[in-house]
Amino acid sequence: MLRLKPSFFTGTLHHLSFILPSAPRFINPSYVRVSRIRAMSSHIVGYPRIGPKRELKFALESFWDGKTNAEELQKVAKDIRVSMWKQMASAGTKFIPSNTFSYYDQVLDTTAMLGAVPPRYGWVGGEIGFDVYFSMARGNAVVPAMEMTKWFDTNYHFIVPELSPDLKFTYASHKAVVEYKEAKELGIETVPVLVGPVSYLLLSKPAKGVDKSFSPLSLLGKIIPVYKEVLAELKAAGATWVQFDEPTLVLDLESHQLKAFIDVYEQLEETLSGISVILETYFADLPADAYKMVTSLKAVSAIGLDLVRGEKTLELIKNLGFPSDKYLFAGVVDGKNIWANDLEASLETLKTLESIVGKEKLMVSTSCSLMHTAVDLLNETKLDDEIKSWLAFAAQKILEVNALANALAGEKDGEFFSANSAAQESRKSSARVKDEAVQEAASALRGSDHRRATPVTARLEAQQRKLNLPMLPTTTIGSFPQTIDVRRLRREYKTNKITEEEYVEAIKEEIKKVVKIQEELDIDVLVHGEPERNDMVEYFGEQLKGFAFTVNGWVQSYGSRCVKPPIIYGDVSRPNPMTVFWSKAAQSITTRPMKGMLTGPVTILNWSFVRNDQPRFETCYQIALAIKNEVEDLEACGIQVIQIDEAALREGLPLRKSEQAFYLDWAVHSFRIANCGVKDTTQIHTHMCYSNFNDIIHSIIDMDADVITIENSRSNEKLLSVFREGVKYGAGIGPGVYDIHSPRIPTTEEIADRINQVLAVLERNVVWVNPDCGLKTRKYSEVKPALTNMVAAAKLLRTELASAK
């Protein structure tokens, strides 16, 4: 349990109180009967923890702002946990997870459990409280946050553990046990879920200053005693099952890494006596060597395998068999997308598995945690009935799992399955899904690589003659703070409380304010601040054909940050210009270059719920053509700098190396399609954030952008190491000089130091100065001083560099 220091917290949270219904949610009458049957072979890997309408987000932000206290935050959190447990229990789920709720991140929860707190946070022992926990996640006025990066190939971000050889581990957060007991008091038996010890270490990094030869995996012997304490306490509390999430098993691991799994579970075997263990994997199929190792582990009672993203999993089981002494938790219901399961096809897969592993040993499960999908389809009022019939959010996926488990047990609900089959057929035959002209245009793209004719060095010279920028030019990434007034303005326009004319004038005033701020700060290349945009993907999707949108289809990205991914259900095209009006208006009020701001095709794809009835690259090419039209319209109206964000390019990289080259080929091609038609003097920027880019640096170079701005500060300049190792990058580059996901304001000296680190490995004439990411989530009281210091640092170094000539 996270114990708190009450003196830190004041205020009330009454306006955030809510009661979540404990009854299951139904999307058609046939679900009622399914929900009343106890599915003895059903399992859910994990469930969304944000609440049906982002209750956790609002509670966290109210708490961080000092408007509410810790007890009120905990009350909201408990209501969410109780609701989801009751929902799964009412639906008949046998294996219900606990400890999948988190105030910020499950890996950070594990760091707290192990007492692996970096020294800079001043923790002196005892149960870790919110002050230390949130400082690690967000930083504070004195020290920066821990690094944040993408969770495998999802848009979820986790807090990267920082470990050192002399770190002392201690059992410092009893959250897993507290939440298990909490569910048990409700009469609900749960399966406590822990991030597995090997995956935790493989996802960690050496702390700053630690010798590069240090491997976090060498700390296994030190963290096992803490895991043993946790397991002993869970067993004493009555737990009979526990789930270890070991998703790193789907990666291309080396032999010594695979051996670590054997060593760990052998060491835990005695402690696990009396507890059945589910070893859960997801996001891909297991390599054959990992599969053989996992199926041989004596301490493991059940193995969870992904049969959705793991396209080779079924063949793997057929070819290598499955041990008779273990349960198979078959992940046949997609936890990463929102399409309704093809129940008949899944049932056939399950019957095939049943013939191999046996009826009593087969459990029906989700492919991964449902935290990567939206919460409940019944919260949606905007989707039309046809599209709604094609979908299943987390609440509906619970019912799908139980329906399949019941059917496998001989209790097939004919009405439920018939309704599902009708929806599958409706989607295949719907006229709104296919557009022959779009498909033909996308197919024609494969014959060319769509590369700009002039080399980037020559383009940069032409652009500099036109733009006349100083050394170390300053810019921001795109968005400025989305204030309460800005959000209210958009909301009033959508609900027809103000006219279009009133809305346009108000947005223009906000743009004028943002432009004035940047001119006063003396920023070189400006942005309009994006006040008209709700989200960098949703905004574009709303104007593209082939997209649908939800009201409450929120998914957690990190902490309190939630996104509402659009649904790509059909062929994509651009009926009208999307950003030209606002970019043209913004450029008209300044003589400085104004960036046209676009989201790139790969990011729109990867941050949407994508149709699963055609290859992803075909959909991406369609989006690329739509963005290409927008780029050329922006250029035609006088915009000289156009940024095409590809923040999610790395995110879509397949987890297995053998599949990565194909993805990178079509992803990079899609970006080039979007901008290949512009003049040499039009400067194309792109932006990437919060991923490990070093292993794809050559693909980033192949994108052929004129300037790339990229996250760098929170990861302790990890990006710069690739240039120290000799990679040559001739285009403009702006490694982020401060972390915008922390409220902390960096000093001028600190930013100057970061710029100098960049200049140590890159030529001064290609370096840009910018924050890590957009400023949407920050307050003006944080943004203005941070940008003031950033510009001051750039000017300081310009003077020093000029005098050193």
CA distance 30 to 42: 19
Radius of gyration of the chain from its Cα atoms, rounded to whole angstroms: 26
Three-state secondary structure call for residue 193: strand
Residue type present at position 724: R
Please say whether the beta carbons of 463 and 706 come within 8 A.
Answer: yes
241 is in an annotated binding site: no
Please say whether the beta carbons of 548 and 383 come within 8 A.
Answer: yes
Please say whether the beta carbons of 481 and 518 come within 8 A.
Answer: no
Residue type present at position 471: M
64 is in an annotated binding site: no
Residue 782 CB: number of other CB atoms within 10 A? Answer: 17
Q: Residue 651 has which token pair?
A: 């995110």
620 is in an annotated binding site: no
**Which residues does the annotation mark as catalytic?**
741
368 is in an annotated binding site: no
763 is in an annotated binding site: no
Q: Residue 90 has which token pair?
A: 């009412």
Sign of the CA dihedral running 68, 70, 71, 75: positive
- Per the document, the length of the chain is 805
477 is in an annotated binding site: yes
637 is in an annotated binding site: no
* DSSP code per residue over 624-645: HHHHHHHHHHHHHTT--EEEEE
Three-state secondary structure call for residue 752: helix
* DSSP code per residue over 250-263: GS---HHHHHHHHH
15 is in an annotated binding site: no
Among 750, 774, 561, CA closest to 142: 750
672 is in an annotated binding site: no
CA distance 357 to 138: 46
User: Each residue of 440-460: b (16+ CB within 10 Å) or e?
Assistant: eebeebeeeebebeeebeebb
CA distance 483 to 474: 24
478 is in an annotated binding site: yes
Among 606, 635, 478, CA closest to 537: 606
- Which residue intervals of 186-273 are DSSP H helices? 197-202, 220-237, 255-267
Burial of 650 (0-12, 13-18, 19+ CB in 10 A): buried
CA distance 644 to 608: 17
750 is in an annotated binding site: no
Please say whether the beta carbons of 7 and 66 come within 8 A.
Answer: no
For the chain, report the end-to-end CA distance as a whole number of angstroms.
Answer: 59
702 is in an annotated binding site: yes
Residue 8 CB: number of other CB atoms within 10 A? Answer: 13
CA distance 54 to 172: 28
What is the phi/psi pair of residue 277, to 5°?
-110, 125
DSSP secondary-structure letter at 146? P
768 is in an annotated binding site: no
Please say whether the beta carbons of 634 and 593 come within 8 A.
Answer: no
676 is in an annotated binding site: no
Angle between the 484-494 and 500-521 helix axes, to the nearest 10 degrees? 160
266 is in an annotated binding site: no
711 is in an annotated binding site: yes
Please say whether the beta carbons of 571 and 434 come within 8 A.
Answer: yes
Please say whether the beta carbons of 708 and 732 come within 8 A.
Answer: yes
Binding residues for L-methionine: 477-479, 530, 645
Which residues line the annotated binding site for Zn(2+)?
687, 689, 698, 702, 711, 773
Q: Annotated binding site for L-homocysteine: which residue ranges?
A: 477-479, 645
Binding site membership: which residues?
57, 155, 477-479, 530, 561-562, 607, 645, 687, 689, 698, 702, 711, 773
